[in-house]
Amino acid sequence: MKPSTPGITTIGLAAVLLTATALVSAGAQAQDTDESLYFPWKDPNNPNVILMDPDDESRDVWNARRDTSKREPGLTNLQRYEFGVMPMGGFPTFLGAPFALTTEDLKAGGVEVAMVGLNIDDNFIPGGRFAANKLRTLTDYMLFGTGSYDPTMHLDYLKDMKLADYGNIASHYGHSERSLEEVHKVISEILDADAIPMAIGGSHIQMWPMFTALAQKHGNESFAMLHVDAHYDALNAGFGRYVHNGRMVYLGVERGLIKGSDIVQIGLRSPKPGTEDLHWMQKKGLKFHFQSEINAKGFEAVLKRVLAELSGKKLFISFDMDGVDPAYAPGVGTQEPEGLTASQAMQLLRAVTIQNEIVAIEINEYNPFMDDRHQTTGILVDRLMRSAIAGLAAKKKGITDPFYVAPTGLDHAAKPDH
């Protein structure tokens, strides 16, 4: 058991005071005011704080680590068969990649991209907690060892890139904020191995620990963010919470982790931001691109603008699946008509991963329970992961044009250039 903290002492004192008050007032009324008995998680000194039970010995078991020191560091391939990934053979991992559990594993394996599952559910319609595991087991013909050939750039991204499945990050079922520190820790382990974390699933509140881990590794205000979303996620109102699923951008800028002028948003089209929010966004220099801009100018013109705004920056890609038109991605918790097409979303990820130095990627808000029976959203998440990895592979091969398409992808008579 942990020694009691000043907070606990205060609550103990408050309980004594409340009991004393109860003793001197009429019986029935006294019981109504005994908040420390009825609502013990309420901090009497701060209504914005929800207290955990400090005496509960199971308080931290959900994120207690196993001892992995006896293992030799390195990657382990869980596929039993030579043919590669098969949903009905071996063990499912992201894109069939070998697994890693520690920073030492990632270093020993020379891993460039570590895919990791996120499991926090802070959404209007819960379910994102199950996204990562669902993605590993999609009913997708691409899982049948059929390869990893990018159809646009004609390169074998799984062969060209060193990938690992870094497992899932534990989350506390009832308390999103408690889970954020664990996300920070595990993302930091990946960053410490100089690999790119590709965080999949969960809900967008996880942008906060992505910010904190990146700021700790690279410095405050040292990285930019491409934020794909129907929502601006910069709500001023916290409803008593510091951070929630719609407030990460506001908090990140106000707390100095990322500069407003280093944030480029695309796909915005929800009933917010309102006038005051817009005023804040402009004051902080956010480069926001509403769906109306795409509708008016065309996607390519907006993409060129986005690329120019991000040029030369270390880039964190924060991709909310509701940024995509629900016609292409119905499986989200906060559906918003209009948005990027599947094709535009894939092109966007190829383009920025070719152009920019990528420091982290997250793709979240995919809710498998809200998806259609063909798992259209899940399969698109898979293809978005592949598009980003293909862009990184293209850059590694020396391709620098963010609009690169292989010659044979444009003309059957063309001579391949690689």
Two tokens at 382? 């898979």
- Please identify, using beta-carbon distances, which residue of 320 and 325 lies nearer to Mn ion: 320
DSSP secondary structure, 26-94, as one string: -HHHHHHT-HHHH-TTB-TT-TT-B---TT-TTTTGGGPPP--TTSPSS-B----STT--BTTBS---G
Binding mask 107-136 for Mn ion (x = CB under 5 A): ------------------------------
Contact 377, 333 (CB under 8 A): no
- Please identify, using beta-carbon distances, which residue of 153 and 324 lies nearer to Mn ion: 324
Rounded Cα distance, 385 and 162, in Å:
14
Rounded Cα distance, 169 and 26, in Å:
51
- The CB-of-126 to Mn ion minimum distance in angstroms stands at 15
- The CB-of-343 to Mn ion minimum distance in angstroms stands at 21
Q: Which of 112, 320, 325, 371 binds Mn ion (CB under 5 A)?
A: 320
Rounded Cα distance, 148 and 158, in Å:
6
Segment contacting Mn ion (CB under 5 A): 80-88, 200-208, 214-222, 288-296? 200-208
Segment contacting Mn ion (CB under 5 A): 163-171, 228-236, 266-274, 344-352? 228-236
Two tokens at 54? 């400090």
The site for Mn ion, by CB under 5 A, has a size of 5
Segment contacting Mn ion (CB under 5 A): 59-67, 195-203, 291-299, 319-327? 319-327
Single out the residue of 174, 175, 200, 203 nearest to residue 186, CA to CA.
200
Q: Is 233 in the site for Mn ion (CB under 5 A)?
A: yes
- Please identify, using beta-carbon distances, which residue of 228 and 354 lies nearer to Mn ion: 228
- Please identify, using beta-carbon distances, which residue of 231 and 395 lies nearer to Mn ion: 231
- Please identify, using beta-carbon distances, which residue of 159 and 272 lies nearer to Mn ion: 272
- The CB-of-231 to Mn ion minimum distance in angstroms stands at 5
Two tokens at 81? 């068969």
CA dihedral 262, 264, 269, 271 (to 10 degrees): 0
Contact 175, 360 (CB under 8 A): no
Q: Which of 134, 136, 184, 204 binds Mn ion (CB under 5 A)?
A: 204
Contacts with Mn ion by CB under 5 A lie at 204, 229, 231, 233, 320
